[in-house]
């Protein structure tokens, strides 16, 4: 099965789970992730102080509905978990339609779609429904039930740590707090999980830390518990909205010119597909926590169409059909290619720096010209030899030569095989 189709099939299994920032839906999602990769699940008690925030009460929901006078469920949580505002207080009463409407949310401009709404840090309750459903409510009274609990419990998150030769880390972070939404956020969960699966089977220069966390409060909690270890994170990506058909979008880290920013810009430039690179702003997903001034980590955000810039965002139209297997596969490829560049971005020292070494006698020039790609490889060999004075990394050389990193890396490998290059000792850790 093609990897994109496999990712989509697995996301389909996770789609019905009712996730929120805490609760059993998160635990069940992490359980399924843990069947594919080595995952440690952490529980942080409600009320725990995490910087300026506190871990909230744990929310779980069993059922919810609005019934008409005939006892029919006109809004039914069992049919869509988007029907209930996440973190709604429990309620069970009969109320007049006028009063009920104060707790109802719809989209008049998209009358068949159900919106997704939350009330994490404010005590309230509500239902989301299509506008057509709202217009069909004509009875004077309705029975309303939200069978939910708000108790002292835990915030739950998952962590997959893959040690490498170095203690320096690459962070991959995605949120696990949305219910039945495909692109936001099952696409990020799928790409991160399959990336970890791929990395588990490879030798690693860096160590890799994958976080599956509830949005905002999850990254704040992790950072609060790992203030000192966070300094080991040298590169990072937040993955979100990586399954729609739009072009790849990369949002830079707060630093703006970090290695991860340069890697992504280089990849996208040479990827041959439409893309967008945008500057950091302190709004969006968990990159804004990792990039807060007290940490200022080199963490960017990889997505496709940016959040809120497609009409399906935070609605029932962000379904399994909206999330495309081909887009998932392409997003995974960009993540894997990013890892390849980070792993190979060494700095070398030319062992024959006085004029060009004779490459022909070492078999590094073909005897007959005209081979496809030969000219770019020839130029790559010359660029690598010229700039390998211990100051320029492979990425520096790729950017300056305007050649793809993979061509520069092949040239460096060929030159190393002939003992013309050696890596700088400081880059071998």
Quote the CA–CA distance of 39 and 28 in Å, as a whole number.
13
The residue behind tokens 């840090």 is 121
Q: Please state the φ and ψ torsions of residue 297, each to the nearest 5 degrees.
A: -75, 155
Q: What is the largest CA-CA distance in the chain?
A: 92
Helix (H), strand (E) at residue 62: strand 58-67
Per DSSP, the three-state class of 3 is helix
| CA angle at 238 for the pair 237 and 242, rounded to the nearest 5° | 105
Quote the CA–CA distance of 341 and 263 in Å, as a whole number.
7
Q: Which of 385, 390, 391, 396 is nearest to 352 (CA)?
A: 385
Contact (CB, 8 A) for 21 and 53: no
Quote the CA–CA distance of 106 and 403 in Å, as a whole number.
51
298-318 CB burial, b ≥16 within 10 A, e <16: bbbbbbbbbbeebebbbbbbb
175 assigned to a ligand binding site = no
Per DSSP, the three-state class of 141 is strand
- Distance of alpha carbon 4 from its chain centroid, rounded? 16
Contact (CB, 8 A) for 84 and 144: no
Quote the CA–CA distance of 57 and 120 in Å, as a whole number.
10
Kindly state the tokens that stand for 168: 């320096």
178 assigned to a ligand binding site = yes
For 113, other C-beta atoms within 10 Å of its C-beta total: 23
Kindly state the tokens that stand for 423: 């890596």
396 assigned to a ligand binding site = no
93 forms bridges with which residues in the sheet?
Answer: 144
Bind-site residues: 178, 184, 314
Bind-site residues for Zn(2+): 178, 184, 314
């Amino acid at each position: 099965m093609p990897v994109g189709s496999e990712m989509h099939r697995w996301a389909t299994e996770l789609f019905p789970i009712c996730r929120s920032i805490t609760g059993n839906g998160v635990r069940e999602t992490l359980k399924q992730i843990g069947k594919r990769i080595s995952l440690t699940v952490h529980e942080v008690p409600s009320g725990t102080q995490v910087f300026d925030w506190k871990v909230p009460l744990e929310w779980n929901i069993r059922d919810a509905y609005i019934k008409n006078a005939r006892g029919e469920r006109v809004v039914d949580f069992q049919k869509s978990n988007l029907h209930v505002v996440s973190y709604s207080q429990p309620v069970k009463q009969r109320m007049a339609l006028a009063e009920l409407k104060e707790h109802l949310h719809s989209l008049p401009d998209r009358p068949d779609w159900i919106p997704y709404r939350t009330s994490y840090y404010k005590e309230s309750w509500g239902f989301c429904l299509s506008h057509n459903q709202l217009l069909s409510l004509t009875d004077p009274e309705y029975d309303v039930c939200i069978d939910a609990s708000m108790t002292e419990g835990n915030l739950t998150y998952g962590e997959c740590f893959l040690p490498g030769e170095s203690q320096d880390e690459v962070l991959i972070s995605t949120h696990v707090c949305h219910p039945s939404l495909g692109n936001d956020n099952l696409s990020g969960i799928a790409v991160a999980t399959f990336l970890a699966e791929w990395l588990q089977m490879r030798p690693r220069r860096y160590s890799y830390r994958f976080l599956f966390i509830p949005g905002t409060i999850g990254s704040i909690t992790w950072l609060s518990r790992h203030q000192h270890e966070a300094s080991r994170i040298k590169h990072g990506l937040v993955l979100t909205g990586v399954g729609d058909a739009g072009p790849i979008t990369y949002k830079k880290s707060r630093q703006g010119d970090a290695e991860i920013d340069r890697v992504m810009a280089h990849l996208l430039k040479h990827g041959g597909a439409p893309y967008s690179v945008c500057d950091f702003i302190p709004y969006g997903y968990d990159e804004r926590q990792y990039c807060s001034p007290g940490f200022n980590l080199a963490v960017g955000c990889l997505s496709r169409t940016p959040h809120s810039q497609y009409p399906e965002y935070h609605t029932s139209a962000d379904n399994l059909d909206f999330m495309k297997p081909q887009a998932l596969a392409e997003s995974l490829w960009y993540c894997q290619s990013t890892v390849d560049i980070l792993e190979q971005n060494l700095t070398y020292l030319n062992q024959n720096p006085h004029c060009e070494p004779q490459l022909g006698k070492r078999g590094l020039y073909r005897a007959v010209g005209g081979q496809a790609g030969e000219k770019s490889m020839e130029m790559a060999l010359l660029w690598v030899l010229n700039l390998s004075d211990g100051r320029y990394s492979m990425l520096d050389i790729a950017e300056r030569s305007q050649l793809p990193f993979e061509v520069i890396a092949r040239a460096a490998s060929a030159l190393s095989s002939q003992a013309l290059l050696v890596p700088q000792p400081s880059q071998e850790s």
